[in-house]
Structure 1
Amino acid sequence: MSDDQMIDDDERRRRWRLALGGEAEASCGGLGGALAEMDQALAALYEADGPGGLRNPRGGRGGSAPQVARWLGDIRKYFPSSVVQVMQRDALERLQLRDMLLQPEMLQNMQPDVHLVAQLMALSRVIPQGTKETARRVVRQVVDALLQRLEEPMRSAVRGALDRSQRNRRPRHAEIDWHRTIRANLRHWQPEYRTVVPQTLLGYGRKARRPQREIVLCIDQSGSMANSIVYASIFGAVMASLPAVATRLVLFDTAVVDMTEQLDDPVDLLFGVQLGGGTDINGAVGYCQSVIREPRNTILVLISDLYEGGVEEKLLQRAAELVEAGVQFITLLALSDEGAPAYDHGLAVKLAALGVPSFACTPDAFPGLMAAAIRRDDVAAWAAGQGLVTQGR
């Protein structure tokens, strides 16, 4: 066996040893140095009742917070952030450590991500005063990172769609779209002058004195929709900053709360969310129906798993009325990267029959969805083209 083969075999054994835990030491050998410390961090979570485990009964509940805080620091030292986020989520779910988030020293060691924000939203009513400022800093860090990633694609998609939807055939000089104008007039090429003589001028949409579209984001506050609320709040804040669209954000459970006034600060908005409770989709859609001023210029995005606790028959009646009035009504079963969501298939099919397509959407695809809706494209066809499973085709 060559030296290279021996190195490969040793590396393979070490990886199997890390994956299988301490019980595989006899067959895979021991670990040393940084690998041994990585193994201890993994064992603390996935062998939580053993020596050094996060749930070791000898430690007692009173001493668990410092131990968890140290463990959080260790995993950030040895693992990439994507793995850290998975391990944090496993710790919260497997070991029921949500109450630990109420302690500043633990929050300071957490890797901020959307899932952590969702946990803090769920605990916002019981977070002690001494922890609230730390919690806000964590949420602000996640919000800022999401804005950096998603703001420009959202702005570009909305502005581009509005420009294309407002064709200007008699533009002033400053409004001429030269690229489109040249393409439209290539048949008027004058060889002797080596130029195009435009017969038709195409321009960008003129700046409207009032918003060109009204967008209503209506979001279910049930616990399963927490990640969707985070992303929708970010997108709502970006769209609210664009004068060409009027954006409204509505949260609901059995009651309806209009959060439009908080769109200038997504952090305040997220701390105003109260996860859980029942679900009255009919009541929420009814509220949205009452505030829509120009149905044919309105896009209503309902973000919900469609498990209706209200009156389904009235919800379907409202949906039919909205579509008939010209509202572009879309249901997102989730706005997250979590994969296929659980939802009420029966209600989704009934809404699709009324012209309300339903599908899950990733945050990266959402700007494209809004652009398609603004252009009045067939949204169900757009979603199918993006590979998004949809009810509505």
Structure 2
Amino acid sequence: MEIKLVRGPQERWRLLLGKYAERQFGDCLSKADGRRDAALDYLYTREYKKRGIKVEKVGGRRGSLDPTQLRALDWLAEVRALFPNNVFEALQSEAVERYQLADLLKDPQVWEDIEPDTSLLRTLLTYQDRADPAMQAELRRIAKNIIDDILDRLRTRVVRAMSGRRNRHQRSSMKASANFDARATVRANLNTWDNEKTRLIADQLVFMSRQKRHLDWTIVLCVDQSGSMTESLIFSALMAAILTGLPGIKVKMVLFDTSVIDVTDQLDDPLALLLSVQLGGGTNIGKALSYCETLIEQPSRTILALVSDFYEGAGPRPLFASVARLFEARVKMLGIAALDHSGQADFDRNIAEQLAGLGMNVAAMSPESFADWLAEVMK
């Protein structure tokens, strides 16, 4: 595929304005940019149709991606090949959520080809209530497959973080690469040195055991269910499901907007939990934390993780008072402004700074980093 790294102003404006600027700018696009232009046109021509504007064909087009000829599956493969992954995910979400591409939803080959990720899952959860009854079961099936895939990948990292530090002084029969002790293996095989081949022949491999940590902790996840926190909510539900399966850890989960809902009894089924969420609404963090206080039985063995952008809709005094009480009771507190792969967030920095001053550690992080932090606290 032709890749043109440097574009002049004329080419950039042509791509920005779309096919209707071709008369003014002429045939200035490279072959690869022509394909990108045609792929974007396939999706965004729908904006004209939504507004009742008649779409006319423009002569002299180089590509053959006319919407009447291209299937959704072909378009999906095309944008995946032409654009970086983050752009592809955005276009995929726009196609389903904004333009409701029926072909994209109804073609089973599309779902076999789509990469499972939280961006797509977020789109499916958003679209679920608007899909016709025949599609709802299919959307649930796809969402479950995505959840299972993410859980499988995330569980390995979480379990490893929680399983304890490696112990070099105790040997193990568990031959896992993460436990391989290279130095001890060399020492154990010094008598097998091959002078002719100048190499060590390792007949005996040595592996370290892992110290088992006694995990008698309660983790309270208090999660904002406003629309801007959707991806963090997804990862919170998945983390809760994984942590619930670990020995010695009790997990409680609370969702909130201006109301507070205890979903602790749903943690074994993340899909059902996420489908029950009503995204949006206001935010009353103080009310949610006040409820979480009633769930704490052993403060010094409790971790409270507040997942929120800290945009408090109510007055902040109840929130600050609750955090001060929790700190005085020696509850470990973490304020998570974002729980996603980006580790970046838009949040109320003023509120966050005041919460940090009251004893809450505040950060935006990935789920893997969150697992490492929990393991560090539980030492």
Cα pair distance change 1:232/1:141, threshold 3 Å: same
Cα distance in 2 for residues equivalent to 1:151 and 1:47: 42
Deviates more, 1:228-237 or 1:81-90: 81-90
Q: Deviations over 1:343-371 (max 9, x none)?
A: 22221121111111211112332221222
Which secondary structure state, in structure 1, belongs to the residue aligned with residue 265 of structure 2?
helix
1:231/1:320 Cα in 2 relative to 1: closer, same or farther (>3 Å)?
same
Kindly provide the amino acid, as one letter, of the partner of residue 276 in structure 1: G
TM-score by length of 2: 0.71
Which amino acid is 2:155 matched to?
E
Unpaired runs of at least 5, structure 1 = 1-6, 60-65, 165-170, 184-201, 376-393
Matches within 5 A, 1:63-212: 70-71=71-72, 73-80=74-81, 82=85, 83-91=87-95, 96-97=98-99, 104-105=105-106, 109=110, 111=114, 112-160=116-164, 204-205=211-212, 212=216
Specify which of 264, 281, 288 is matched with residue 284 of structure 1: 288
Does 2:235 match 1:231? Answer: yes
Contact kept, 8 Å, 1:101 with 1:120, in 2: the verdict is no
Task: Report the alpha carbon displacement of residue 91 of structure 1 after superposing the two structures with TM.
Answer: 4.5
Q: Which residue of 2 aligns with 1:384?
A: none
Mapped contact 2:122–2:231 kept (Cα < 8 A): yes
1:220 aligns with 2:239: no
**TM-score normalised over the length of structure 1:** 0.69
Which range moves more in the overlay, 138-147 or 81-90?
81-90
Number of residue pairs matched by the alignment? 328
Taking the TM superposition and a 5 Å limit, the aligned residue runs for 1:328-347 are 328-338=332-342, 340-347=344-351
Counterpart of 2:122, as a letter, is: A
Do 1:298 and 1:327's aligned partners in 2 also have CA atoms closer than 8 Å?
yes
The AA in structure 2 aligned to 1:45 is L
Greater helix fraction, Structure 1 or Structure 2:
1
Q: What SS is found at the alignment partner of 2:119?
A: helix
Q: Out of 306, 318, 322, which is 1:318 matched to?
A: 322
Taking the aligned partners of 1:30 and 1:278, their CA distance within structure 2 comes to 47
Native 8 Å contact 1:232 1:335 kept in 2: yes
Contact in 2 for aligned 1:217/1:302 (Cα 8 Å): yes
Shift of 1:126: 4.3
1:121-172 deviation digits (Å, cap 9, x = unpaired): 33444443222111112211221221232111111112227x99xxxxxx9x
CA distance in 2, matches of 1:267, 1:68: 36
**CA RMSD between the two structures:** 4.3
